[in-house]
Chain A
Amino acid sequence: MSASSERVPRLLALVPYLLARPGIPLREVAEDFEVPEKQLRKDLELLWMCGLPGYGPGDLIDLSFEGDTVTVGFDAGMSRPLRLTAAEATSLLVALRALSDTPGMLDAEAVQRAVAKIEAAVGQAQPAGVTVGLAIREAPETAQVRDSLQDGVRRERALRLRYYTPSRDEITDRVVDPLRMLLVEGYSYLEAWCRQADGVRLFRLDRIDEVEVLEERAAPPPHARLTDTSEGLFQPDPSQRIAVLVVEPDARWVSEYYPVEDVIELGRGRARVMMRYTDLSWMARLTLGLGGDVRVEHPAELADEVVRQATEALRRVEHLPAT
């Protein structure tokens, strides 16, 4: 977008915006339009020079400033905002419709009313061609977990969680200070300050086995920052080790399901996949489970672990009493 293609829509929206809010502080206007106050002042100076043909004192947009507030005296016929473009209507309506089937959304009915009102106001700019469904497949236990978590988030209470960590195949109890609930890429999460880890962590709801809402108030430290979701939840961590796997067609889904560093096509659906991992035992579980559909090229300790466990499992199962 060029500078003017962002600025002109803002200029066209400013007059009706101010008309609806006489005497609004400039700081609030700048916040709503997400521009620095200095830029806002430049915008208002420009609008002051605009108006109707004739361009005499009575034809120009009239703004009066009192202290740090602004009021429109004459709007030069620009009393309403421009209607929504197809892209604007799409982005808002598709998102609203998606909200109405979000698990845990408390006020789906308000969402429906908002959809109806916005549809009526935007007229012909109806969205087409994009649909977002946020409903996810989950067990009844997870719905119960969500209820307890939401109660804790709403009342700002600390929570005791019993949580399963797949990378270490371990269940631990921990006390957390909840920040918010998230739904990203098909999974629900609690984002919270974890007192044990001394940092902000995401807890996937289907891995929480128990929730206890404590009487103690949630007190996340002031430096606790919410995760920026715009680049995805999991960023490559250079401290992790890299495994090199050759996957057969039946195991190609691995490169879609887990974040991978690189995929090199080997033809006929086979590929060499570079994947980061923290814990050797987790990586061994994944590759062992894939059986003959994967070969570990690197590291040797992973290949050895897979062979050791497979051999041991096949030996042990021979000793299982017949049923």
Chain B
Amino acid sequence: MSTTRAERLVNLVLCLLSTRQFLSAERIRGIVPGYSDALSDEAFYRMFERDKTELRDLGVPLETGRTGSFETTDGYRIARRDYELGDIDLEPDEAAAVALAARLWDSPQFTGAAHGALIKLRAAGVDVDQDVRAAVEPKVRTSEPAFPSLLAAVQAGQVVEFDYRRLPATDVATRTIEPWGVVARRGRWYLVGHDRDRNAARCFRLSRVVGQVRTVGKPGVVERPADVDLLSFVATTQNDPAPASPTRLWVAKGRAQGLRRRANVVGEQLVDGELGDLVEIELRFPDSAARWIAGFGPDVLVIEPEVLAKSVRERLLGALRSQRGAEVGS
């Protein structure tokens, strides 16, 4: 069944490419092999509609127009200039880049499409060697559950509504967004768009979308501002670390290797009978430094700054409180 259908579709494409006149459905029925199998008019039209839909889904530009100056019936043809891929000629290093790009995706939405693009480029005479070795092999996944529906909404220009959890987390809140684009940055996916309730551009992490994404209203209503660079927009919403502040720590001998990698030993000191190194370290991520240091427990103590020493102490007390479920004196 599908063999004859595939054959009929290829013949239909060849027939419509070869005509300058618009051909009526009846004409096509008489010419293209396979349609004569239809036993009734109704069966033929059903078959023909299905074929037209399939060709359009594949990206074949079917044109409709009057079959003649004095005719009232519509007909079909394919304009060669709209059908054919433009001339393309890639140098070997460019073709290598294309091969690498085509295998970048680990994504149900893009892997197949990238392969389809590659086949067409090869059919245009470009040699793309799939096994080309790359200096770096980047891989991008689109595994967030919200990804397919948000991508579809962006591409359809349709408003969306979803429940979203901010961090630090509170209860989820429903957001209504005119989506402009989905953006991957440093391995995470974001949606950028106009937030209707806040009347401002906002950025949302896909991993914090809770449940289903719902579309609101008709497609084609979202207008994305032309001057917005989505990637820079996401970048500006994320704080890069503040400049490093000088920090002095005591580190027990032979312990806390992860911290020692980043530190300079400047001396030795005995604390409560335990020998340790005095180290200086530049903390690249001051916001998470207290968590990092507290994690080493008795192996790392903060000498200065005082503010860091205090927040490490608070974390340790907090750990005791929550584990014992009771207040511990400070």
Q: Determine if A114 and B90 form an interchain contact, defined as CB atoms under 8 angstroms apart.
A: yes
Residue A13 is within 8 A (CB to CB) of chain B in the complex: yes
- Is A1 among interface residues, defined by CB-CB distance under 8 A? yes
Contact yes or no, A80 B104, CB < 8 A? no
B124 at the interface (CB under 8 A from A): yes
Provide the residues of chain B in CB contact with A320, threshold 8 Å.
Answer: 250, 271, 301, 303
CA distance A271 to B319 in the complex (A): 17
Task: Pick from B13, B124, B313: contact of A314, CB below 8 A.
Answer: B313
Within 8 A of B (CB), among A170-223: 170-171, 180-188, 209
A11 within 8 A of partner (CB): yes
A-B contact count (CB 8 A): 417
- A38 within 8 Å of B (CB atoms): no
Give the size category of B's interface with A. Answer: 35 or more
- Interfacial chain B residues near A148, Cβ < 8 Å: none
With A and B bound together, what is the CA distance between A310 and B319 in angstroms?
Answer: 7
| A314 neighbours in B (Cβ, 8 Å) | 313, 316-317, 320
Q: Is A68 an interface residue (CB 8 A)?
A: no
**Smallest CB–CB gap between B108 and chain A, Å?**
10
Whole-angstrom CA separation of A139 from B170 in the bound complex: 34
From B112, B303, B323, give the contact of A323 (CB < 8 A): B303
Most buried by A among B88, B137, B240, B315: B137
Q: Does A224 contact B (CB under 8 A)?
A: no
Which residues of chain A from 70 to 119 have a CB within 8 Å of any chain B CB? 76-78, 80-92, 94-96, 98-99, 102-107, 110-111, 113-114, 117-118
Complex contact A88–B298 (CB within 8 A): no
- Cβ-based interface call for B71 (8 A): no
Q: Which one, A82, A85, A169, contacts B83 given CB within 8 A?
A: A82
Which residues of B sit under 8 angstroms from A277, Cβ to Cβ?
A: none
A204 vs chain B, min Cβ distance (A): 12
- Residue of chain B at shortest CB distance from A185: B187
- Mark out the residues of chain B between 310 and 329 whose CB falls within 8 Å of any chain A CB in the assembled complex: 313-325
- Other-chain contact of B184, A33, A132, A284 (Cβ < 8 Å): A132
Complex Cα–Cα for A34 and B122 (A)? 12
Known contacts: A88-B113, A288-B295, A288-B319. The answer to whether A131 contacts B257 by CB under 8 A is no
Q: Which residues of A contact B97 (CB under 8 A)?
A: 96, 99, 107, 110-111, 114
B139 at the interface (CB under 8 A from A): yes
B279 contacts A by Cβ under 8 Å: no
Q: Contact string, A286-308, partner B, CB cutoff 8 A, digits 1/0?
A: 11111111111000000100110
Do the beta carbons of A98 and B94 come within 8 Å of each other? no
Q: Do A122 and B86 touch (CB < 8 A)?
A: yes
Residue A269 CB within 8 A of the other chain:
yes
C-alpha spacing A133/B294, complex, angstroms: 33
* B143 contacts chain A at the CB level, 8 A cutoff: yes
Within 8 A of A (CB), among B163-207: 165, 167-171, 179-188, 207
Interface residues on A, range: 35 or more
Q: Once the chains are docked, how many angstroms separate the CA of A40 from the CA of B310? A: 71
A99 adjacent to B316 (CB under 8 Å): no
The reply to whether the CB of B123 lies closer than 8 angstroms to some CB of chain A is yes
Is the CB of A66 closer than 8 A to any CB of chain B?
no
Contact between B105 and A120 (Cβ–Cβ < 8 Å)? no
> How far, in whole Å, are A60 and B245 apart by their CA atoms in the complex?
77
**Inter-chain contacts of B9 with A (CB < 8 A):** 4, 8
A9 x B274 contact (CB < 8 A):
no
Chain B 94-125, CB-CB to A under 8 Å as 1, else 0, gives: 11111011101110011111111111111111
Please give the residue numbers on chain B whose beta carbons come within 8 Å of chain A beta carbons, in ascending order. 2-3, 5-7, 9-11, 13-15, 17-18, 31-33, 54, 57-60, 82-91, 93-98, 100-102, 104-106, 109-125, 133-141, 143, 151, 154-155, 165, 167-171, 179-188, 207-208, 224, 230-231, 234-235, 240, 250, 256-258, 261, 269, 271-272, 274, 284, 290-298, 301-304, 309, 313-325
Can you show 21 pairs from A to B with CB atoms below 8 A apart? A9-B119, A12-B13, A17-B122, A46-B6, A50-B10, A51-B11, A53-B31, A80-B85, A90-B110, A95-B140, A110-B97, A111-B94, A111-B101, A117-B89, A128-B181, A180-B133, A183-B139, A230-B141, A288-B319, A294-B319, A323-B303
